Every structure is written in structure tokens, then in C-alpha cells.
A = this chain, B = another copy of it.
Amino acid sequence: MTHDKGCCGSVCQCFFEYATPKILVIRSKKVGTVNRVIQAVIIAYVIGYVCILKRGYQDTDSVISSVTTKVKGIALTNTSDLGLRVWDVADYVIPPQEESSFFVLTNLIITPNQTQSRCPEEIVVRMTLSVVQVPSLNSNCSSDSDCTPGLKDVRGNGVQTGKCVNYSDSVKTCEVLAWCPLEVDRDPPNPPMLADAENFTALIKNNIRYPKFNFNKRNILPHINKTYLTHCIFNATTDPDCPIFSLKYIVSTAQEDFQTMAVHGGVMGIQIRWDCDLDMPANWCKPRYTFRRLDNKDPENNVAPGYNFRFAKYYKTANDVEIRTLIKGFGIRFDVMVFGKAGKFSIVPMLLNIGAGLALLGLVTIVCDWVVLTFMKKRHQYKAEKFSYVDDFGLLSEAAE
């Protein structure tokens, strides 16, 4: 084997060379078994778990979503303030449209006919429903000197004018400039005023997109026809594809009681999971609906429990004075949360996983060599066969050889 030829021939020869490691084959039940078992485990893991179960051969993408909702239902209330009153969707959905959530009014405290004027401040004895007694604004006074003109306490209802006026026959409080009469800080009615809200239904339309795979889908599936849609109500077992939900069903599926929740309001999550294997037929890709309460009902570790907000309807009287009806609205906000991952075959993650799997097979040699060279009886023979030595030590060479 001499290599004395021209440059071209040398390169050619080099190109056509194939270098393969020399192998020592050890025929041994013990080592052979260890070898095959570890090999089998790694191959089973790579093929079975990574490729099949975890679909390691797929590239993934996250969902982009658009949601529209439509609530239906009528509620009847009968109170001393308002008399007999019917509430329809324009009354109880506030604001009338939102991006991916909707709010249904279930309870309210109304303060009608407020005008910008002066009135005695409320005797505030508590902060929003706190069980623990916290230092609250003391608006009681005995003379004008107890009141600070211009004081805007965050817990108060207005700006103090500096006067001390009669709140009742026996009590005096500081006068405030505010929307008067002031809202009374009382507990919301129980049972809730719009108890009928549990019978309302919500139609949820959801359009998703996986941009990487240019895949769009709607939650109203192609096999569903119009007749079915006008009648169906979602039920996880009997009607899992119907996009019309009973509010009571949503709340009760999340282990909550609608009437209890309706008193102070709350936040419900309507979770739509789109986990799609795009290597499979497109109609296997279906939304899964789950429901979860998002706010905290634990009274200890909480401030402002439930969900409420204040809004007003503004009117003008005949003599051009602006009046408003202040409404503290309690209700359930339904947040539609869409998430999911789509996977589709892609060469990069597949080869990445196969490459890593092949590399893991290198572990077999490490483990088995250790077994062979440590535990086998004939280990010195194996060592002599497996290893050759060349020495190139300066200092150690004499000692070593």
C-alpha cells in the first residue's frame, strides 16, 4: 500500500475512501443482553414515545383566534324602586359588544336622579364588604373645622366643601360636592335581581387560524346544519359540538352555583382548546370546551370580591340640568379563552429527534464497555483485544514502559 502518485490521483483516491471503525465483537450472554436491552429501551423511547406519543416529527404553531358572541334571553324583575320591569339583551349586556368576552348583568344597586350638587357625606362604616374592620374614612363632624375644603378622599364620594351639615337628626357629617343623592354602600340584593339570567343562552362563534400552516377553522363544524343549530344546547356528553351554551350549564360545570355567584358577580372562563394534528383529516381537528371560575371566591385573601362596575345613564331635565342614574352592576363576565397547538409533519424536528436518538445509542457503548471491562471474568482479555497503546510521554515514558 504505497501512496506515491500525483495530486489528482491522491484526491480521487481520498474521495473514494470509506473509513469504518474496526469492531471487536464480544459474544457473551451477559454483555449481549445488557447491550440489546439498552438498545431496545432507547429505540422504543425514540420511536414510541418521542415520535408516536409526543409526535416529535411535527412542527408546531400556536392558535390565533377571533370570537363573537350573542346572548339571548329575557329577565323579569319586580322591585319597589322600578316596579315590574322586563330586561332584554340591550339592557343587560354591557358594553353591547366586546372582543372576546361578554358581561351579563345579574344584580344591581340603582341610585336614580343624581345631580351635581352638595349633600352630607355617607357615614362610611366599612370598606367594600370587608370582614376585617379596617380604618375607614371618618366623615362624622361636630363643626366646620372638622372638615377640610377640597379634600378628595379615595374612599369618599366627593369633594369636601368644608361645611359640617346634618346627616340625620342626631348625626352630622361633612358636606361634599358630588353626584347627589350619594350611592348607598349596601350589600347587593340577595337573591339577585336578574335571577332569570341562568336561563339565558350564549352563542359563541370562534374562528381560528394556524398561520404557519395556513389553516383556518370555525367552531361551527361543517357537518352541523342549520336546523340542528337553532335547537341545540351544548352538553359535554350529548352535544359536544353545539356552540350555544346555557349560562347555568357553564357555571354549574365549573362546580359553582349560579344564584350564589350572581349576587356578587364573578368571572367565568370559557376555555376552547384546539389541539390539532394536521397530518390527520381536517375534521378530526375539533374544539374542546371547558369551563373554569377565574375570580377568587375565598373571602380571606381577597379585596373587592366578585365582579362589579359602576356605570351611569345620563339624562337632561326640561330645564337643561344633567341628571344621571348610577348603576352599580354586579354580573358574570364570561371570558372566552382560546388556546391550542397544531402539529404538522416537518423534516427539521423529525431529523432533530432522530439525530438525538442516534446519539443516545452511543450511551449503549459507554454502559456496555463499562460492564465488559469491570465485571467480566475475561476482562483482561477483552481489554487487550480492544485497546492498543502508543506512548508519547516525555517524562513518564521510561516509567510507563
Contacts and interface: CB of A to CB of B under 8 A. Distances in A.
A347 B178 CA distance: 62
A31 B335 CA distance: 64
A301 to B, nearest CB: 6
A178 B227 contact: no
Give the size category of A's interface with B: 35 or more
Nearest to A96: B311
A32 B30 CA distance: 33
A142 to B, nearest CB: 24
A21 B23 contact: yes
A240 B267 CA distance: 25
Contact of A97 (B103, B301, B356, B368): B103
A80 interface: no
A138 B27 CA distance: 88
A192 interface: no
Interface stretch (A162-170, A249-257, A391-399): A391-399
Contacts of A62: 62
A390 B226 contact: no
A91 to B, nearest CB: 7
A74 B21 contact: no
A36 B207 CA distance: 50
A100 B97 contact: no
A191 interface: no
A90 B326 contact: yes
A44 to B, nearest CB: 13
A207 B295 contact: yes
Nearest to A401: B1
Contacts of A313: 314
A36 B318 CA distance: 94
Interface in A52-88: 54, 56, 62, 64, 66, 68, 70, 72-76, 83-86, 88
Interface string A362-397: 110100110010001010011001111111111010
A207 B267 contact: yes
A123 interface: no
Interface string A176-211: 011100000000000000001001110101010101
Contacts of A235: none
A230 B130 contact: yes
A93 B376 CA distance: 80
A280 interface: no
Interface in A274-312: 292, 294-296, 299-304, 307, 309-312
A84 B400 contact: no
A360 interface: yes
Contacts of A7: none
A140 to B, nearest CB: 19
Instruction: Please list the 4 inter-chain residue pairs (A to B) with the smallest Cβ-Cβ separation, ordered nearest first.
Output: A355-B356, A16-B32, A28-B392, A96-B311
Given A18-B368, A154-B201, A356-B359, 12 more contacts: A15-B32, A17-B35, A24-B388, A68-B295, A83-B116, A94-B96, A96-B309, A134-B226, A205-B295, A211-B273, A221-B301, A316-B317
11 contacts: A18-B28, A19-B26, A20-B365, A21-B21, A22-B24, A74-B157, A134-B226, A154-B200, A207-B294, A211-B271, A313-B314
